[in-house]
Amino acid sequence: MTLLEGSVGVEDLVLLEPLEQESLIRNLQLRYEKKEIYTYIGNVLVSVNPYQPLPIYDLEFVAKYRDYSFYELKPHIYALASMAYQSLRDQDRDQCILITGESGAGKTEASKLVMSYVAAVCGKGEQVNSVKEQLLQSNPVLEAFGNAKTIRNNNSSRFGKYMDIEFDFKGSPLGGVITNYLLEKSRVVKQLEGERNFHIFYQLLTGADAELLKALKLERDPGGYAFLNPDTSRVDGMDDDANFKVLQSAMTVIGFSEEEIRQVLEVAALVLKLGNVELVNEFQANGVPASGIRDGRGVQEIGELVGLNSVELERALCSRTVETAREKVVTALTVTQAQYARDALAKNIYSRLFNWLVNRINESIKVGTGEKRKVMGVLDIYGFEILEDNSFEQFVINYCNEKLQQVFIEMTLKEEQAEYKREGIPWVKVDYFDNGIICNLIEHNRQGILAMLDEECLRPGVVSDSTFLAKLNQLFSKHSHYESKVTQNAQHQYDHSMGLSCFRICHYAGKVTYNVNSFIDKNNDLLFRDLSQAMWKARHPLLRSLFPEGDPKQASLKRPPTAGAQFKSSVTTLMKNLYSKNPNYIRCIKPNEHQQRGRFSSELVSAQARYLGLLENVRVRRAGYAYRQAYGSFLERYRLLSRSTWPRWTGGDQEGVEKVLGELSMSSEELAFGKTKIFIKSPKTLFYLEEQRRLRLQQLATLIQKTYRGWRCRTHYQLMRKSQIVISSWFRGNMQKKRYGKMKASALLIQAFVRGWKARKNYRKYFRSGAALILSNFIYKSMVQRFLLGLKNNLPSPSILDKKWPSAPYKCFSTANHELQRLFHQWKCKKFRDQLSPKQVEVLREKLCASELFKGKKASYAQRNPKLQKLKGGAEGPILMAETVMKVNRGNGKTSSRILLLTKGHVIITDTKNPQAKTAIPLSSLAGVSVTSFQDGLFSLHLSEISSVGAKGDFLLVSEHVIELLTKIYRATLDATQTRLPVTVTEEFAVKSKEGSLTVKVAQGPGGGGTGKLSCKKKGSRCLEVTVQ
């Protein structure tokens, strides 16, 4: 049974029945399978990572959850963020949002969603938008330098982060402060199989251009660096190239200068190159083992990159200076010690670089002093961890989670008690597990595990992890939450899972076994003073600033605080910060180990639920009264259960709620009436109310359906009756209209016949036979007369080129109009011909003949020259035309000048130098003429074979006036022989000679043949090629 109709499973686990671990996991699985990833425990949000994008985070959802209160809509991270932001803005209460869970549970994405929601709903403006953009852009920078691929998560945060976002009195962001906790710097030098180093190294090698890589003295292949795992250089779904560009853009938005970005990348490159410094065994003169560097080129490149003396760096890596108040001793390091020093230097450089980045971001987003601010804190920190081999990191992580659980229990009970006090309800003490004894076991100033660890690190003499464990066994031998092999043996217990170098703590989430190996080294976190001084001597501004203790003027013999002490101090500060704010919790859960969508592992989720204390959270929340709601909202939902309050209630909300519950005969032990809220003790009571409401809704639905069906039937009947009346009245009226129309038409027809009969009878004597034909003829003649007179007045000009003619006024005159137009045109032509002289007539006939022969066939037709000299006299009769032509030699293609004379019976060709040598060709001997289509004057006179002249062969001539010449020859032949001379327009023709036939091929040259010049070339004995230039 759920509180909201149509929801999947139980949306608020406070109402879960029965309250058991199995039912809790089953409810989470049911909702997860329906893609409902959020569930409430009161005001605590449980989030199950879907491993897929869901369409529930767009602006529509932001607007929806901004306008409704926490419980009015389905569980969502926006609901929790909205409640926290509205409480901060409207009630002036500082807020903190605590996000916890395993690696891969979605903590980082949850913090992004909270920040993006707050950025979307807060104020607008240029300055506000700039602050919001800087806050949001801090995520890509911190992810690049603080996140890495692990076996469980491709983008796992390897540090804890707490961000305080500061707002003004209007709720607009002013800036913020970021605090980081316990960066996993051991990952810099070593990663497990299947894991990667921090993202920045792969982004730098993949996304940097060749020029930048050359400046940083790096190669693009990740396999060339000892600190990088080459098998996992690529991650599915992660684009290192694009992420590097996003990183550079984000750093620019935050306020990093180009020089600062360059220096950060140089320090990152330094860390990579340190891993390639290979150390080898050497021996001093006295035979004492020492160490040295195999290849000095790597150290030299490091020195060039950050301005270091390579000799000093090599000395710092391979030796150690121990300084006391009286003396200074330099000892050589073995290979193992030198490798430890090299790795410690790389880890310290990267860790300090990360801290510098956080501080640099804080400088950009910090708020000026003197302004009153409201604060919302977002804590994204590692969840409770139980691994197969738990070391110092898991110990401090679980210590932090113990403190967070303590905060949760105390603040939840405190909030419950404050609400009971506000509502005037007696507070009943709640029994719960107080994990203060576990926190005290770890953090006690004198007898806590961290205190013992620090004491062992500072104690003179032989110190090891075994002596530390022996001290714990001695001090906590009778502690109820501490176990080891020694304490078990003392109590005659046998546990094969407990190793000799292990101890076990019974945390609130379960028992965790820790291996003490490396506890001392990890807690000391020492960096030799020689290395610090060498780094301070670098000429690189950023690297020099990371090692202020290397300055000889600030040198101190005081031992730096241990890692455990620093973390304990940070946790203490964090707890004070959280206690000063109103908490909001997001518990993130990982559904499976393989990051697969839709897969839910009950065993894995059950273990996480136990680590997170979800069942404990529900029990604390249900202590006393499990459900409470404002009177107005409760009455609005359940007033339909009482006849007194349904359908209308005019009294007060509390009085109405008492009426409803009184009529349902609810037990007084299950209810408590506060000042503004009703409290219900057991979820069963609430489920009973919901069941009664469901039954009542069914009754009301049945009543509404019955009433609606009756109303619909009555309305339908009334509509049908009204429609029937309208149809009947319309039908009757229409029938009468039709009847009246028929009667009227009949009467009009009879009247027309009668009037016509009377008219014909009265006026027949005035009409003659054929009067209608006479009238029509008169009208037609009048129309014809008007048409002809109008045509007379609008005749076009007498020019034969004028084609205009007025159109017929009536369609019946169209044929006559076309015939008149034709006659008028013939008349104009006759008038034009009568005005011409015989000479002009002859010229026109020649033009007509030339047009028929060459128009559209010969390119030079339009360029003909009519001005030709007419010669008279001669033995062969009057000369019709004289023309200078070029005769083409059929043997070699050469040309020679000739004079061509045309008479009425002959074509005479004579030599220009010897007029006596001439050839007379009768027109009757011409068999045809061949001419090309180009702008050239080449033509051939073909002679008939039976003629005496034809035995010599055809003539191949060139004339500048070929059109006029051939036209004259054609007309003279026609007049002399009464036959048409064949004129062929072609680019290839045959010329006969005594030796045989010769083929003439004419082609157009590359110039397009515009000049008409000819170039003749003999090809073999039977072909002559002519090119028109």
Q: How far apart are CA 938 and CA 987, in angstroms?
A: 10
Asked about 108 being catalytic, the answer comes back as yes
Residue 376 contacts residue 117 (beta carbons within 8 Å): no
Asked about 383 being catalytic, the answer comes back as yes
Encoded tokens for 194: 């299947």
Helix (H) or strand (E) holding 841: helix 838-854
Q: For residue 31, which phi and psi values (nearest 5 degrees)?
A: -70, -35
List 133, 301, 385, 549, catalytic entry = 385
Asked about 897 being catalytic, the answer comes back as no
- Neighbouring C-alpha atoms within 13 Å toward the C-beta of 710: 5
**Hey, what amino acid is at 655?**
E
Q: How far apart are CA 579 and CA 256, in angstroms?
A: 34
List 39, 43, 100, 103, catalytic entry = 103
CA dihedral 440, 444, 447, 449 (to 10 degrees): 80
Encoded tokens for 661: 């519950």
Give whole-number Cα distances, 346 to 159, 232, 352, 499, in Å: 17, 21, 10, 32
Q: How many residues does the chain have?
A: 1029
Q: How far apart are CA 749 and CA 215, in angstroms?
A: 113
Burial (CB < 10 A; 0-12, 13-18, 19+), residue 925, is buried
Asked about 419 being catalytic, the answer comes back as no
Asked about 385 being catalytic, the answer comes back as yes
What is the spatial order of strands in the sheet that 918-922 belongs to?
Answer: 918-922, 906-911, 895-903, 879-888, 955-958, 938-943, 926-931, 983-985
- List the Cα angle 78/127/367 in 5-degree steps: 80
Encoded tokens for 485: 């092999």
**Hey, what amino acid is at 876?**
E
List 27, 39, 47, 108, catalytic entry = 108
Provide the CA 279 distance to its chain's centre, in angstroms: 49
Q: How far apart are CA 572 and CA 574, in angstroms?
A: 5
**Hey, what amino acid is at 606?**
S
Closest CA to 380 of 573, 177, 159, 577: 159
List 39, 138, 154, 156, catalytic entry = 156
**Hey, what amino acid is at 951?**
A
Closest CA to 320 of 330, 306, 308, 312: 330
**Is the Cα dihedral 588, 27, 606, 401 positive or negative?**
positive
List 27, 100, 111, 157, catalytic entry = 157
Closest CA to 1026 of 911, 929, 927, 937: 937
List 9, 104, 275, 1009, catalytic entry = 104
Per-residue H/E/C for 517-586: CCHHHHHHCCCCHHHHHHHHCCCCHHHHHCCHHHCHHHCCCCCCCCHHHHHHHHHHHHHHHHHCCEEEEE
List 101, 106, 303, 383, catalytic entry = 383
Residue 442 contacts residue 406 (beta carbons within 8 Å): no
Residue 30 contacts residue 39 (beta carbons within 8 Å): no
List 150, 153, 319, 570, catalytic entry = 153
- List the Cα angle 32/37/41 in 5-degree steps: 110
Encoded tokens for 620: 């604390």
Which residue has 């993130």 as its token pair?
A: 588
Asked about 104 being catalytic, the answer comes back as yes
Encoded tokens for 994: 């005594």
Looking only at Cα atoms, what is the longest distance across the chain? 169
Q: How far apart are CA 180 and CA 159, in angstroms?
A: 7
Asked about 156 being catalytic, the answer comes back as yes
Q: How far apart are CA 201 and CA 233, in angstroms?
A: 10
What is the spatial order of strands in the sheet that 502-507 belongs to?
Answer: 482-484, 502-507, 510-515
Residue 181 contacts residue 381 (beta carbons within 8 Å): yes
Asked about 1021 being catalytic, the answer comes back as no
Active site residues: 103-104, 108, 153, 156-157, 383, 385
